[in-house]
Structure formats: C-alpha cells, structure tokens
Amino acid sequence: MGVNPTNACRKERGNVIDIFWEPKSPMALTIGSLGRGGAMRILIAGADGQLGRAVARRAVLGGHVVVPMSRTALDVGSIDAAALIAAAAPDVVINAAAMTDVDGCESDIDAAYRINALGARNVALGAALADAVLVQVSTDYVFDGESSEPYWEFDAANPIGVYGASKLAGELEVRSVMRRAFIVRTAWLYGLGGRGFVSKILDLAAARDEISVVDNEFGSPTFCDDLADSILDLIDTGAFGTYHLVNEGWCSRFEFARAILEVAGQDHVVVRPIDYFERAAKPPAFSPLRNFCGAELGIRLPPWRAGLERYFERRSEGVDIAQRPISD
C-alpha cells in the first residue's frame, strides 16, 4: 500500500478557508530547520477527527506543510502504519488518532488497547523510522479523579477505566520507543465540526425546554483550535516531555452546559443539576489539569470561557476545514 504525501495550499473566501491538497514527493527537512518558526512537514494521524482537523487548519495557516491521514487511510492499530508514516518523510508526527468512545472502551477492551496503546506504539515506531518528532495526545482520564486540586504533570497516574488505562499504556509505549516526543494530556475537547459535549448540549436545547446535567464531575473544557495552536508552539521549543495543555480554569459539567447556552444565546433553556447519569464507564469525578510545564515555557491557553466564546465566533463565521483534504 503506497502513500501519497501532500502539499497544502490555501485559498481564502471571505471568512471561510478552503484547503486543497496537491501531490508532493516526500522531502524531509533537517531537524535544524524545526523550531524558531521554521516551516515543518507535519503528518497528522486521525486527521478526520475534531482535533486532527483543527491541527491541520491551524498548521496550514501557520505556513506548514500538512500530510493528513484519516483513520481509514492510516490504521494505527496495524504494524503497517509504521512503514506508511516513514514513507511520508514527515518532520513531525501528531497522533490524534484514538478510540475516544469512553463507554465503548468498557465493552470492547481489545479495540481500546489496539488503537490507544498498540496504535501509539506503531505511530511512535513510524516517527522513529522517519527520524521525526512525535506528539502523542493523551487525556485527563489517566487520573483517578480523587484529587481536590488540579493535576500536575508530575502527579502519579491511576486510571479507573479502560479508556484511561489504554491511553496511559499508549504513553508508556511512546516513552519506550521515542526520546524526541511530547506527550500532551488534554481534556473535555470540543471543536468545529466535532460531536462532543458542546454539540450535544446544543442538540438537546434545540429539542427541549429543560435539560439535566451532572454537577459533580469537574474538568477543563478545551477548544481544539486553542489546543492546536499550543501544540504547534510546543513543538517549536524542542523541550520534549509530558505536558498538560488545556484552557485555563475548570468547572463542572453543569456549569459548562449553562455557559454553552449563555454564549449561544439560548439561556432560556433551563439546565437542572443532577448527581448521577447512568453510563457504562465511570469518569474521574475531579480531573482538571494544571499547565505547569507549558507555562514555564511561556505556553498558556486562554481561559475556558474565552475559548468557548471564540468557538462560537468561528462557528458563526463558517470557519472549518473542508472535507476534501481527508482522503483514503
């Protein structure tokens, strides 16, 4: 199976950005050209997900060359993924591919570990073969939620479910393979074109005058565009290690739902707090992340409320990455 690395071109039409992909033969830059604002050739695994799409869009706007690999084009759970990644000759590999269906992970443990753990290793092997830098995206679910303060990068991981355990296993696999790697833990992601908590709340509000949301689960809501920008800034530092990158601050799911409706102009919909919602997986009750290591490098994400407001601004402008780039 061959790989067609691609070159990104941008055409602006009003506030909408269309991105087209043209064939480009593999050509790796030297590591000396990475950082300090240099153009990079970035391969994105899971480029059809909400984070992958955000990274692709923000990277192209930053003047980088993007090689987007959808989940069907690059099966990270297969050892063949390593050769495919190496053949694309990237400078940087960002692994945004994951099984993020937290409840589904509980019912299909093999699939969770195949994608989240073995997949992370295969992507790391590919990055190593290409002599590329790796960014492995991880999650707040690696923690048990028993803390009373936001988790630092140095706190011990102790996942309480299959999703968190499989993602932690992925972190360990990356560390065993790669030295030049960033592990980026994030939380409560939402993005343009995504199907996360924000879109679910909006869908419920469109159908009902009253919705119920748990008020005993706390975390750090994070806008994918803000995370994408911070990942690109982090790569530029060359300071490999583990980072917590989330929008500043934290709130409950209930508070987040109310903020979503307020910013969306739908605060007439009543949000009722509840303390239990039946589901297969038990999420960590308190899992806000503290961005200590990134902040020491000058990398800070805006407050979560500001991120939410920017999401709605870009959503209303129709800013999104076109479906066309993600090809099989």
Give me 107's structure tokens: 């019912």
Residue 194 DSSP code: -
Residues 26 and 2: their CA atoms lie apart, in Å, by: 12
Query: Cα 109 from chain centroid?
Result: 21
Residues whose CB is less than 8 angstroms from the CB of residue 251 and which lie 6 or more positions away in sequence, other chains included: 218, 219, 221, 259, 304
Which amino acid, one-letter code, is at 103? Answer: D
Please identify every residue annotated as catalytic.
163
What is the 3-state secondary structure of 122-186?
Answer: HHHHHHHHCCCEEEEEEEHHHCCCCCCCCECCCCCCCCCCHHHHHHHHHHHHHHHHCCCEEEEEE
- Sheet arrangement for strand 181-186: 65-69, 41-45, 92-95, 133-139, 181-186, 241-244
Give me 311's structure tokens: 């999401």
